[in-house]
Amino acid sequence: SERWNLLYANQLSTAEFKNLAEDTRQYLGHVPKQTQATNTQLLEIVMAQDFQDLTGQVIKKMMDMVHILETELVAFLIEFSPDSKKAELDNNLLNGPVVNPEGRTDVVSSQQQVDDLLESLGF
């Protein structure tokens, strides 16, 4: 670039111009090889991303199917379990934990409190 600037400023001799032209010609001859290598590497990156995206979609579909299967299997087992076993089933255990937030500072009970907690943790 500096040599071309000197040429346009009329500060190069004829011999220097010929050298500049030859160097530029050689450089332009190497450019397609270099761009082909870059193109190949970029294509590999894109293909890897596509593969990862497709794999993620397959895993998500499989996890959704497993979740549905688990839910239906549990419902099936509860529905067709013997009456003696149904009596032993405590329905309160199926609802998850319930925490009384009154008088406690370590329990969040609103979305605003959750947002504040996450913000204080740097999220």
Both tokens of 107, joined, read: 């329990």
pLDDT confidence band for 23 (50 / 70 / 90): very high
Position with higher pLDDT, 91 vs 104: 104
18 Cα distance to chain centroid:
52
Determine which helix (DSSP H) or strand (DSSP E) holds 77, and give its type and residue range: helix 14-79
pLDDT confidence band for 92 (50 / 70 / 90): low
Q: pTM here?
A: 0.37
**Domain ranges in the chain?**
1-90+111-121
Confidence (pLDDT) at 65 = 92
- Average pLDDT on 63-68 reads 91
**CB distance 7 to 20 below 8 Å:** yes
